[in-house]
Structure 1
């Protein structure tokens, strides 16, 4: 499957998104007015690394989710991995009836 930059923000949980430049993207979640930043950097060998400004810790989780694999083979895939590290847990919590809270986001 080929990933596109814009498709990284397709989650229903995202309220708005944008970019600061070609390697820095931001988004916020519905009902949580915090800007989450994703910074991409070209890896020396191949692919892209990503760094998140926040991790997520919903009531469904024991601790904040910190992805162990913070890279992707190409830019759009790395961005997709970064965004979904937040949105997948957010979507699960909302689906289970939890009310979104700013406390769900933990600064990295």
Structure 2
């Protein structure tokens, strides 16, 4: 869950190209769901384009125009994918000292197990 004081980087930019952020503690809000759906669409397009790249490059007969268009499309989906990764990374909860795993607890193997 995103803390209510944390801004969410949205998967689109404003008309001036600047990042857009959402401030809400409701992950089910209309804008949150719209952002989730947009991220899913962007990642799906990236996967489809990657499949297309394999076809184009695998044939070995792509002309300069096709390669140029492919490179521009790849740059666009890479930009979108990085924005999704950044947004999701910011929303990960950072474990506090009381929530970290204690490696001294739990099952222990006998000392000679791997000898």
Give yes or no for TM over 0.5.
no
In terms of fraction of residues, the more helix-rich structure is 2
TM-score, with length taken from structure 1: 0.26
TM-score, with length taken from structure 2: 0.25
Higher Cα Rg, which structure: 2
